[in-house]
């Protein structure tokens, strides 16, 4: 879907803005030609495309500060962007806005094994952190499927998770500090290497804020020792519902696996054809259950989990005997998204989270929705924490299929909220779920969230059009922010 092009006034203004940026940035770091701007026109939610007015590519925090100060002074909108792997339209540019690309912030700044931390720039990829420390027996726990490409700054913006978030937590549980720049150009440090920062939880506010509050320019993460023993179970079930029921029973037994992922039959067959992981093809669902810790503990838990799986009707239970076999079990899961791309011209990746006990019901309802909309669905998700990633299969060239896919996706998210879940687990709200926010939040809730936005960005210049279905001006929310000696929106009555 192509978005509106900039009007003549925007084009005229762009020339002056480009000249102002090039006063302190190299000419090659200020992108204005249409062919190059197309590289930034979309993120992972590829149904929507919009080239930015200008893309700027800073290399230092000071340059980010000057860019934001200039945009504030000129009243220009800014969209921060990392690797562009967002699946919610979070990094979708604006025709009258500046895209602030952080790809040049790609250095590992410090590794501190004594304090078990790594400090990196936001453009460093998720997997690169583990690569930087694995020689000393450490790793970074959150591991989204896109970890080879997604940036740590984007992980902070969306509070990303991954297959091991069940035991080791999301991004918010694994970062200790950040450096950020406000829209006023102020450089702030929040947290550090210590376990907990004093005062308000500003780090918690920034994690998952989707670029609406500030621009992250440095991240300090927690690194962990690799466990002594790691073993994975590959379990096949005759129905999807039995697989879902098994998830709840394992957690109910007091066992927290390092990871517990589920795939249904369409996803299994696609992944097996793509990477030959050895998945059983005569089952309706599989669970990949990973256990880690001391060898004696892993041996004991493997026996218990195998028994639970058999009690739930499992038709096959394979336990990895080597590290290569364990990695092969995961290879299919990690490659599931591109694998599904081979069986459908297009797919729409959803993201919602539900209570684990509701898995059998929700999977059954999604199957009914698939029949209703006449579109296939492949399920690949973080079963342990109920974070669903159904892939709705469609053909963008077939009239009406994209619209049906979006309606199907909206119904899935409404179902998540209906059963006591939430609209997102790790992909964020962006533009994809923006208009569904009232399904989960009241007007009072949304207004309170916008007051927080106003405290950081009173003029609404940072990533506008995302998250909030109706954006109120800060003065309308009863909050008077004195900005550079002036009241915002002076035409409105004071409270």
- pLDDT at residue number 196: 74
- pLDDT at residue number 109: 98
- pLDDT at residue number 4: 53
**Protein fold of 108-225:** 3.30.465
- pLDDT at residue number 10: 66
Q: Number of H helices and number of E strands within the chain?
A: 16, 20
- pLDDT at residue number 494: 34
List, as one string, the DSSP characters of 338-372: HHHTTTSSEEEE--EE--GGGHHHHHHHHHHHHHH
Angle between helix axes 359-373 and 240-252 (nearest 10 degrees) is: 160
Query: 465: exposed, middle or buried (C-beta count within 10 Å: 0-12, 13-18, 19+)?
Result: middle
- Compute, in degrees rounded to 10, the torsion defined by CA atoms 260, 83, 6, 46: -40
- pLDDT at residue number 6: 57
- Going by their DSSP bridges, the two strands 224-225 and 138-139 should be labelled as antiparallel
Same fold, 229-338 and 344-432: yes
Distance of alpha carbon 439 from alpha carbon 414, whole angstroms: 7
Residue tagged 């591991």 (tokens): 143
Class of domain 8-101: alpha beta
Kindly list the domain boundaries of the chain, sorted by start residue. Answer: 8-101, 108-225, 229-338, 344-432, 443-495
CA dihedral sign of residues 129, 132, 134, 136? negative
Can you give the pTM of this predicted structure?
Answer: 0.90
> Where does 344-432 sit in CATH, by number?
3.30.70.2740
Q: Which of 102, 227, 92, 76 is nearest to 156 (CA)?
A: 102
pLDDT one digit per residue (tens) for the chain, 495 residues: 444 555 666 667 899 999 999 999 999 999 999 999 999 999 887 778 899 999 999 999 999 999 999 999 999 999 999 999 999 999 999 999 999 999 999 999 999 999 999 999 999 999 999 999 999 999 999 999 889 999 999 999 999 999 999 999 999 999 999 999 999 999 999 999 887 777 889 999 999 999 999 999 999 999 999 999 999 999 999 998 899 899 999 999 999 999 999 999 999 999 999 999 999 999 999 999 999 999 999 999 999 999 999 999 999 999 999 999 999 999 999 888 889 988 999 999 999 999 988 988 998 999 999 999 999 999 998 999 899 999 999 999 999 999 999 999 999 999 999 999 999 999 999 999 999 999 999 999 999 999 999 999 999 999 999 999 987 778 777 644 444 445 444 443 332
CA dihedral sign of residues 464, 466, 471, 477? negative
- Torsions phi, psi of 492, nearest 5? -90, 150
Distance of alpha carbon 287 from alpha carbon 219, whole angstroms: 33
**Protein fold of 229-338:** Alpha-Beta Plaits (3.30.70)
Element (H, E) at 18: helix 8-21
């Amino acid at each position: 879907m192509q978005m509106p092009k900039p009007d003549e006034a925007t084009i005229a203004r762009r020339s002056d803005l480009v000249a102002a940026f090039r006063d302190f940035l190299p000419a090659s770091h200020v992108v204005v030609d249409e062919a190059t701007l197309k590289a930034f026109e979309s993120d992972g939610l590829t149904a929507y495309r919009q080239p930015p007015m200008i893309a700027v590519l800073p290399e230092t925090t000071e340059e980010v500060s000057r860019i934001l100060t200039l945009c504030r002074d000129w009243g220009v909108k800014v969209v921060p962007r990392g690797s562009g792997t967002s699946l919610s339209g979070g990094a979708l540019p604006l025709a009258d806005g500046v895209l602030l690309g952080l790809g040049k912030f790609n250095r590992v700044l410090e590794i501190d094994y004594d304090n078990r931390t790594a400090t990196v720039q936001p453009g460093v990829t998720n997997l690169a952190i583990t690569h930087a420390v694995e020689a000393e027996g450490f790793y970074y726990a959150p591991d989204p499927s896109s970890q080879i490409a997604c940036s740590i700054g984007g992980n902070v913006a969306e509070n990303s998770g991954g297959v091991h978030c069940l035991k080791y937590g999301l991004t918010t549980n694994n970062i200790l500090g950040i450096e950020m720049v406000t829209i006023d150009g102020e450089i702030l440090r929040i947290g550090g290497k210590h376990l907990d920062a004093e005062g308000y939880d500003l780090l918690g506010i920034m994690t998952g804020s989707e670029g609406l509050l500030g621009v992250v320019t440095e991240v300090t993460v927690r690194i962990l020792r690799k466990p002594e023993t790691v073993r994975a179970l590959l379990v096949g079930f005759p129905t999807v519902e039995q697989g879902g029921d098994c998830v709840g029973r394992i957690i109910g037994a007091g066992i927290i696996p390092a990871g517990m992922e589920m795939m249904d039959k369409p996803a299994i067959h696609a992944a097996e054809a793509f990477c030959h992981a050895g998945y059983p093809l005569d089952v309706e669902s599989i669970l990949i259950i990973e256990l880690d810790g001391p060898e004696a503990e892993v041996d004991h838990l493997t026996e218990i989990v195998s028994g639970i799986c058999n009690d739930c009707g499992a038709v096959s239970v394979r336990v990895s005997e080597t590290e290569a076999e364990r990695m092969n079990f995961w290879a299919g899961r990690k490659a599931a998204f591109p694998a599904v791309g081979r069986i459908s011209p297009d797919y729409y990746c959803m993201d919602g989270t539900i209570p684990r006990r509701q898995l059998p019901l929700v999977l059954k309802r999604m199957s009914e929705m698939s029949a209703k909309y006449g579109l296939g669905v492949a399920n690949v998700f973080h079963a342990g924490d109920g974070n669903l990633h159904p892939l709705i299969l469609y053909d963008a060239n077939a009239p009406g299929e994209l619209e049906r896919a979006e309606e199907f996706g909206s119904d899935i998210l409404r179902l998540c909220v209906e059963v006591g879940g939430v609209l997102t687990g790790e992909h964020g709200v962006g533009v994809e779920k923006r208009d569904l926010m009232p399904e989960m939040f009241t007007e009072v809730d949304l207004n309170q969230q916008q007051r927080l936005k106003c405290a950081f960005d009173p003029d609404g210049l940072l990533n506008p059009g995302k998250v909030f279905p109706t954006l109120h001006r800060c003065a309308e929310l009863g909050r008077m922010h004195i900005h550079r000696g002036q009241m915002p929106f002076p035409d409105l009555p004071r409270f």
